[in-house]
Structure 1
Amino acid sequence: MKLRNTLCFALVATLFSFKEPAVKNYQKLADGVLVKLDQKSSGDPQYVQLRVVADNIVQVQATPEAKFSPEPSLMVLENKNVKTDWQFQEKGKTLVLNTKDLRVEVGAETGAVSFFDKNGKVLLQESNQGQQAFAPVKLDNEQSYRLKKAFSVDKDEAFYGLGQHQTGLMNYRGWQIDLTQYNSVAVVPFLVSSKNYGILWDNNSITKFGDVRPYQQLSKLKLYGKDQKAGGLTATYAFDKKTGKAPIVRQESEITYEFLEDQKKYPAGYSLEGGLMTWEGFIESDATGDHRFEMPSSGYVKVWVDNKLLLDRWREAWNPGMSVFKAPLQKGKKHAFKIEWNPDGNVSYLALRYLTPQSAEDLNKIAFSSEAGNKMAYYFVYGKNLDEVVSGYRDLTGKAQVMPKWAMGFWQSRERYKTQQELLDVVKEFRKRKIGLDNIVQDWSYWKEDQWGSQEFDKTRFPDPQGMINEVHANNAKIMISTWPKFYEGIEAYKQFDQKGLLYKASINEQIRDWIGKGYVSTFYDAFNPEGRRMFWNLINEKLYKMGIDAWWQDASEPDILSNSSIEHRKALMNPTYLGSAEKYFNAYVLQHNKGIYEGQRGTNPNDRVFILTRSAFGGLQHYGAATWSGDIAATFEEMGRQIPAGLNFSLSGLPYWTTDIGGFFVENKYDRGPMTPQAQEEWRELNTRWYQYGTFTPLYRSHGQFPFREVYNIAPDDHKAYQSIVYYNKLRYRLMPYIYSLTGQVYHKNGTIMRPLVMDFGTDKNVLNINDQFMFGPSLLVNPVHEAKATSRKLYLPANTGWYSLYDGTYQKGGQQITAAAPYERLPLYVKEGSILPFGPELQYTTEKPAETITLYVYGGKDASFELYEDENTNYNYEKGKFATIPITYNEASKTLTVGKRQGEFNGMLQKRTFNVVFVQPGKAKALAFDGKADATIAYAGNATSVKLK
């Protein structure tokens, strides 16, 4: 045995040609260094490799095996032919790589990696806390490993990104973030630090981040009933009062009704419909400090600790959402505890688990822990600011395209237009009312009931789909359509995919039925298979794209083969994939599915910009013409508030295009069960008004939801302030199109970000690190959504080191202060950063109705300002070939001079001449927003630089 091990090591040493200086176990490579470690146990790495990707990007890989797994990354598209100057040195038992921006050290004996800036300041250090990085695991017939990597971090550091999570958290510090694809959770394993670095965790499996200790069931606490009896909480299962049945009362130590499989755990004979459940008593911990709780729930739920209400939310019964909260507990003390749950349906979900306080040693550590992988790989990305960090992510995973201009206008959607006439009537009504509309959306079930996956219209409801599409186009709108990667058993498309072995068969074998009609058996295709992706594109191309469909709505792309099934069952339902075990690839399905559509359409019609809206995300999704929406969310103010940090963290994850269902998707019974009461109707109107106001300043501006209908004229009559406010912001969005489309151009040409958490622009102001309900829309507009019912003001923070103007009246305030801003029903507080240039175009009914021949430039003085106006051909990819134009606009505060610079570039149809009307706003000289007001200066522009003095 000893001889065989010696021979194995000799063979590996020969293969890697290790040199023998002071440290004998490394090899300097063309792009980095490979270190051979003394593997003391099977869970330790044998090799650690550092690779210089760019001056600010370094890849770290480790493996417990004799060689690295050859599997390519699904996320990373980096060009490995790029050459970067870097230097290598050996300092005792430390190996050092130096680039222009970074110093990276790896211990020659430990393999631990540390990152420093060019001045030697510590940025991040690996620290696996003495635990093995690799734990062997058997996946079917495949050997793999559970992976864990911990890092030491600064005590004041904040963490963001990781996709879209709807618990209301902005800064993840101290929490566990579950990276599992789910309806309303979109996973992007890219972490961003307030210290201006990012970690792209290159793993496709389910992952935890932060405090990755396993959550504990309540039974791990000491529990007492409301009568002080030890052993559990007093659980009361009250029946619907109409039944006259006495409640079931028992002592319980766990609450685990999280998945479909758990529905059988309810007490025998108990019916959820109309019921009310409570758990009451006392909890006692053996630790002192903040205990963090995690609660997936649907229906109405409230939680009290020590008589303090910590959670109060509603979520539709069929689609639970995650909540987190914390409570300070004292060791050995009984704390009053109560949960009240109205399941609001005959199937509903609830669970509760907790984490004890972190140890002092762990408070300044974070970790990634993944279920499966044959190697550990991550990329460290550094920048002078968070824009550079996001840019580095896109350098690795692919650029985000310039979205077609129409996509930046307003979209109207409904769940669902049941006939083609319904859809056409909506387009006509918008045009009749002269309200801006660029896109109408046809959601699911346009097919015959038993033909899901056919991508064919039901001719009884859509008798002339080609005529419908043509008429939408004739009304100067685009049409998007919903397709799913799902097929009913036995339909023609199912047979075609099945013949080639391209379908997951577990749900077919289990004969799982969905919720449509009598219930139909279905499955999803394997998007990891290149042939599956080609066939799916060919199907939607033949059935839909050739008729003129403009864009794709990819629903259930997690994939959601069986909603609310346990995670283990969900993995089993997509096992095996073309690439291997579902455990290894679970989170990456959405990436492969949308990649196939993008590549298919670009191959079929290279001149038509792809646009995809999908209900999930993953690292690299932005490269495939895809945007994400936040899933089937609840129509409540509380849920609206959670959307804001969800979208901001999504943007910091490197994916620039995101949207919510304005108004929320699913509604409480008071809104859709018979005629609304006057009170409910006014609540509904206010909720939609506030959500429309917020949605105007998200990257994509889109209304969608179940009944009641979401068109503005169905929400309120035109003399109601709800209608008037919604239309006001619609007009403002279209007026801002020169600004918005320029931001869209920056997304591609400069790796820009449209919806910007305050930490991106004001990171040196520590007051912004945890702000979760304010953001910048582009470089100039500070957006402060109102997400509380009946509010007519809201507290907000004006970031420091700059001043702020009200967009509406031009009044000026200094930054660095918290204020209470007026927020009347019709308006949300909007501020413009001092030293900004805002271009406003003409009033439009759709984005390309007329060119912006006259642009009103609002110049907000007090500091120097600049803005680059961007234009191209709007719907094709000629911008990738240089067919676009930019106009640099600058303002110099010292000389009070505005310069519209020389135009750069050209494209077909470009405006040769235009007029700029300039409005100058200064501290102490407020000017209200008025597009037809008197200009302070007028510039006739023909492409050459022109300057004017402003007073």
Structure 2
Amino acid sequence: MRVSSKLLQAVEGHHYLDLVTDEAKYRIYLMNDYVIRIRCTFDEQFAEEASYTLAMTAWDDKMDGMVEDRKREEALPAQYEDLGTHLLLRTNQLRLMIHREPFAIEITDAEGRVLHEDLKERPYVKDKHGRLYHYSNLTDEDHYYGFGEKSGHLNKKKRRLRMHNVDTIGYDSEHTDPLYKHIPFYIKFNGKTQSATGLFYHNSHASTFDMGCERSGYWNKYSYFCADGGELDLFFMYGPQIKDVVRHYTDLTGKTILPTQYSLGYMGSTMYYTELDRDSDQAILNFLDRCKAEGIPCDGFFMSSGYTTGEDGKRYVFNWNNQRFRHPQNFIEQMRSKGAALAPNIKPGMLLTHPLYKQFDEAGAYIKDDKGDKSQTDRYWGGAASFVDFTNPKGRQLWKDQLKASFINLGVTSIWNDNNEYEINNPDALCEFEGGKKEISALRPLLPNLMAQAAKEAIAEAAPNTRPYIVNRAGFAGIQRYAQTWAGDNNTSWHSLKFNIPVILGMGLSGVANQGCDIGGFFGPAPEPELFVRWVQNGIFQPRFSIHSCNTDNTVTEPWMYPSYTPYIREAIQLRYRLIPYFYSLLYEASVLGSPVMRPMVYEFQYDPATWEESFDFMLGRSILVANVLEKGAETRTVYLPEGSEWIDWHTRERYAGGQTIRRKVSLDSIPMFIRSGAVIPLAPYLQNIHNDRIEELHLLIEPSENASFVLYEDDGVTNNYKNGDYLKTTINVETDGNTVISFKKDGAYASTVKRIVIDLVCNQIAPVQVMLQGRKLPMFLDPAEWKAKEEGWYYDLELKTAKIKYDNSQADYEIAVNFDIKDLISI
């Protein structure tokens, strides 16, 4: 075992500091005031910088031409002070101390509060098997969040977690580990100091996090990271807020790609239709017609891999089964006419009997065996298969050619990448690695990212101005730059419904804002009616909203599967569509700041200890608290309302102080939601299809008891024109000092489709006495019917304590002034 125990030498390089110890070498970059890179190798020299992952660097990297929009920053000068027992480096926010003997690194904030401490006497270790360890001190006040796609409660303290993406069909969302994603990043939040920090281990070997599960009386309490190979290359990030850490992490690995707007609609799916003997195309078209007849909006369909079935019953990617889909292009055009996108299932493993196998094999496009002589084969759906090597330019090009010929040239620009965990059992199988040759064990979780990147590039080449919509099951850190994700083949149970929530919340904290899970459960018997209703009521708040199933009892999960319960399903999905402008604005925020859409309570309220362990209630953006009913037969729901805000029941407008737990009665149609004080929530009340409907009337739900701001984002939703300024960002500012002023400031060239604005202004104690639009008094109505018939004006809904203000939209900046002065009727 090799352990760094003594600092021997420090050498200042160009914007970095090199350290030599008795066992390992280190290189430290002060990336900026908040982010520090610590790179460690036990070899004679550092390996070449070659990252598919990083979106921000401060050095030359072999993959600079591969990573689109990579930002090159200049690191801060790494000048140190020699203080005898230790060296000291400074940024405006951080102090990094390098202890000489025993060697260890300690990081504090500018006031000296400890943020990170290596475990002295074994901070960085390499064992005889080549495994690398990094040990960190742990305190009783620490909470650990993130880790990508992980089962169980949100806080992962005292958990041991494996990073190794696997196809885990029918997994237990509380206990199964690992799952499909491999994201070696976590957030540490210390409740005592109220400081949040992050650690990202830039290493794609299989690895393990132990967050205090292991204990030894000879050492301080500790956590550790262990990787099967590579280097210990870690990035430390300082908040002090959790949301700051997420922003810094997504600066490093990339922001969530701005999606097509229609991807926020209901996406139908089931394996059942594509496994019919024939006419699967008509089954899907009939599904769309049935949705319309039932009043259930739908904007697309994820087409399972049965469409690829050959005459031998095996699945062959890029192959259309002509018994099930007689005229693919005609089918795609019919779907488009019905306002629905098609997302075909694509798999990177190609069976040895695949008609295209020889072409890919002769081109050297597959991952090779450990000698580099032959294509590696392994278990896959239907038998032995080889796997496309996306680190090989030849593999990428052949794959893109087939994507174009089979789908994109037919009008398909939505791609569903599935079964891409790359479960190759020979760890020494060789990837091309852009000519550098590297074992699959070092690159495995990166291949799903590169697969998504290839789809993005193929769409850009064949349809340059079409915004791609790519969905991935597997992935590594940075997958958010290319794809929406989902939590794989979940089990159909109440347990899955509940524990899929913290799985999604952990992904959001790990930079992946656009994701979800299969609604209704993928694997198992059909969900019982109550479970199905509750799952849909929860699923409407997930960025990816798709009911998808592979039921084990010869049934298919459809919105109308239980006719007497269909009204509950319809009502929930229609609520989802009302929220589309809010969702789209939140995903724009994610594309700029990295913010999650579904947010754990601790993300918004880290100063409230009651939120630190909350795993199931969550915030949708800043403004909506969602407390779904997750228990069978529930008649009441207990909800904790965090302190620091006031809360208004979405349905009744009853107002509650924060910092208390309430209990409310629930029925099968209940979707418990609470509006946060200072909320600004845009809604589309009449939207039924995102492809075909124009949002001409926009409702703004505003709670004005505190100053607030929200950016409403609009563009055409389908092209890349927004990159050239064809967007509209409307910053809505709410200022209150007894009276309320709502200002609208526009930025961008996009011509909004919104013709009319209706503000639902949630009032507290009293009604307005006057409403002014740009200094002009709007008419006030006592009769709601009369207000409804007019083009502009306002009235006060006494039951809901809401002022409803209506006027024509303006392309210019403007403001609404609402006067709450008491009108003295007696003195008049």
TM-score, reference length from structure 1: 0.74
How far apart, CA to CA, are the structure 2 residues paired with 1:754 and 1:513? 37
In the alignment, what sits opposite 2:158?
174
How far apart, CA to CA, are the structure 2 residues paired with 1:881 and 1:107? 50
Contact 1:939 1:946 in 2 (8 A): no
Structure 2 CA distance for partners of 1:773 and 1:361, relative to 1, 3 Å: farther
The alpha carbon displacement at 1:658 in A equals: 0.8
How far apart, CA to CA, are the structure 1 residues paired with 2:591 and 2:378? 43
Alignment pair present for 1:60 and 2:35: no
How far apart, CA to CA, are the structure 1 residues paired with 2:499 and 2:42? 41
How far apart, CA to CA, are the structure 2 residues paired with 1:773 and 1:454? 38
How far apart, CA to CA, are the structure 2 residues paired with 1:831 and 1:361? 49
In the alignment, what sits opposite 1:188?
183
In the alignment, what sits opposite 2:198?
198
Contact 1:502 1:529 in 2 (8 A): yes
Of the candidates 716, 730, 734, which is equivalent to residue 562 of structure 2?
Answer: 716
Letter in 1 for 2:471: L
In the alignment, what sits opposite 2:800?
none
User: What are the superposed Cα offsets for residues 730-784 of structure 1, whole Å, 9 maximum, x if unpaired?
Assistant: 1111111221111111111233221111111000111111111011111111111
Pairing 1:370-385 to 2, within 5 Å after superposition: 370-373=227-230, 375-385=231-241
How far apart, CA to CA, are the structure 2 residues paired with 1:749 and 1:801? 26
Structure 2 CA distance for partners of 1:589 and 1:514, relative to 1, 3 Å: closer
In the alignment, what sits opposite 2:9?
25
Contact 2:746 2:813 in 1 (8 A): yes
Unaligned runs of 5+ in 2: 1-6, 59-71, 169-178, 190-194, 275-279, 769-783, 789-794, 798-802, 821-828
- Classify the secondary structure of the residue corresponding to 2:142: coil
Alignment pair present for 1:892 and 2:735: yes
- Classify the secondary structure of the residue corresponding to 2:28: strand
User: What are the superposed Cα offsets for residues 424-483 of structure 1, whole Å, 9 maximum, x if unpaired?
Assistant: 111122223332111112111212334633412111111011100000001111111101
Alignment pair present for 1:154 and 2:135: no
Pairing 1:73-92 to 2, within 5 Å after superposition: 73-80=51-58, 81-86=72-77, 88-92=80-84
Of the candidates 418, 422, 430, which is equivalent to residue 283 of structure 2?
Answer: 422
User: What are the superposed Cα offsets for residues 514-573 of structure 1, whole Å, 9 maximum, x if unpaired?
Assistant: 565xxx432322223232122212211111111111311111111246xxxxxxx3646x
Of the candidates 91, 103, 112, which is equivalent to residue 95 of structure 2?
Answer: 103
Contact 2:366 2:375 in 1 (8 A): no
- Classify the secondary structure of the residue corresponding to 2:198: strand
In the alignment, what sits opposite 1:447?
308
How far apart, CA to CA, are the structure 2 residues paired with 1:162 and 1:63? 24
Of the candidates 458, 462, 466, which is equivalent to residue 608 of structure 1?
Answer: 466
Alignment pair present for 1:684 and 2:684: no
Alignment pair present for 1:529 and 2:507: no
Of the candidates 320, 325, 330, which is equivalent to residue 457 of structure 1?
Answer: 320
Structure 2 CA distance for partners of 1:512 and 1:193, relative to 1, 3 Å: closer
In the alignment, what sits opposite 1:49?
27
In the alignment, what sits opposite 1:628?
485
How far apart, CA to CA, are the structure 2 residues paired with 1:96 and 1:510? 50
How far apart, CA to CA, are the structure 2 residues paired with 1:732 and 1:925? 29
Contact 1:416 1:442 in 2 (8 A): no
In the alignment, what sits opposite 1:700?
544
Alignment pair present for 1:209 and 2:209: yes
Contact 1:528 1:593 in 2 (8 A): no
Of the candidates 763, 767, 773, which is equivalent to residue 922 of structure 1?
Answer: 763
Of the candidates 312, 324, 335, which is equivalent to residue 472 of structure 1?
Answer: 335
The alpha carbon displacement at 1:818 in A equals: 2.1
Structure 2 CA distance for partners of 1:947 and 1:105, relative to 1, 3 Å: same
Of the candidates 28, 36, 54, which is equivalent to residue 20 of structure 2?
Answer: 36
Contact 2:620 2:626 in 1 (8 A): yes
Contact 2:408 2:462 in 1 (8 A): no
Structure 2 CA distance for partners of 1:560 and 1:48, relative to 1, 3 Å: closer
Alignment pair present for 1:432 and 2:293: yes
Alignment pair present for 1:936 and 2:804: yes
- Classify the secondary structure of the residue corresponding to 1:61: strand
User: What are the superposed Cα offsets for residues 690-740 of structure 1, whole Å, 9 maximum, x if unpaired?
Assistant: 010110111111111124322212x221xx2x3112111111111112211
Structure 2 CA distance for partners of 1:454 and 1:758, relative to 1, 3 Å: closer
- Aligned Cα root-mean-square deviation (Å): 2.6
- Classify the secondary structure of the residue corresponding to 1:875: coil
In the alignment, what sits opposite 1:402?
258
Of the candidates 94, 99, 119, which is equivalent to residue 86 of structure 2?
Answer: 94
Alignment pair present for 1:763 and 2:602: no
How far apart, CA to CA, are the structure 2 residues paired with 1:89 and 1:208? 35
- Classify the secondary structure of the residue corresponding to 1:196: strand
The alpha carbon displacement at 1:611 in A equals: 1.6
Structure 2 CA distance for partners of 1:750 and 1:511, relative to 1, 3 Å: closer
Contact 2:89 2:96 in 1 (8 A): yes
Contact 1:146 1:372 in 2 (8 A): yes
Letter in 1 for 2:221: N
How far apart, CA to CA, are the structure 2 residues paired with 1:359 and 1:71? 36
Contact 1:794 1:820 in 2 (8 A): yes
Pairing 1:572-651 to 2, within 5 Å after superposition: 578=433, 579-624=437-482, 626-651=483-508
Letter in 2 for 1:36: V
Pairing 1:877-916 to 2, within 5 Å after superposition: 877-907=720-750, 909-911=751-753, 914-916=755-757
Contact 1:453 1:485 in 2 (8 A): no
Of the candidates 650, 666, 691, which is equivalent to residue 523 of structure 2?
Answer: 666
Contact 1:48 1:111 in 2 (8 A): no
Contact 2:200 2:234 in 1 (8 A): yes
The alpha carbon displacement at 1:183 in A equals: 2.5
In the alignment, what sits opposite 2:407?
544
The alpha carbon displacement at 1:577 in A equals: 6.1
Contact 1:454 1:493 in 2 (8 A): no
How far apart, CA to CA, are the structure 1 residues paired with 2:467 and 2:296? 25
How far apart, CA to CA, are the structure 2 residues paired with 1:133 and 1:465? 56
Structure 2 CA distance for partners of 1:919 and 1:448, relative to 1, 3 Å: closer
Contact 2:352 2:384 in 1 (8 A): yes
Of the candidates 209, 221, 231, which is equivalent to residue 364 of structure 1?
Answer: 221
Letter in 2 for 1:390: V
How far apart, CA to CA, are the structure 1 residues paired with 2:767 and 2:521? 37
- Classify the secondary structure of the residue corresponding to 2:139: coil
User: What are the superposed Cα offsets for residues 843-895 of structure 1, whole Å, 9 maximum, x if unpaired?
Assistant: 11212433333222222233222221111121122323332211121222313
The alpha carbon displacement at 1:591 in A equals: 1.9
TM-score, reference length from structure 2: 0.85
The alpha carbon displacement at 1:622 in A equals: 0.9
User: What are the superposed Cα offsets for residues 819-850 of structure 1, whole Å, 9 maximum, x if unpaired?
Assistant: 22332111121111112122212311212433
How far apart, CA to CA, are the structure 2 residues paired with 1:399 and 1:510? 34
How far apart, CA to CA, are the structure 2 residues paired with 1:823 and 1:196? 36
How far apart, CA to CA, are the structure 2 residues paired with 1:584 and 1:632? 26
- Classify the secondary structure of the residue corresponding to 2:748: strand
The alpha carbon displacement at 1:792 in A equals: 2.2
Structure 2 CA distance for partners of 1:531 and 1:106, relative to 1, 3 Å: farther
How far apart, CA to CA, are the structure 1 residues paired with 2:352 and 2:672? 52
Contact 1:177 1:209 in 2 (8 A): yes
- Classify the secondary structure of the residue corresponding to 2:133: strand
- Classify the secondary structure of the residue corresponding to 2:31: strand
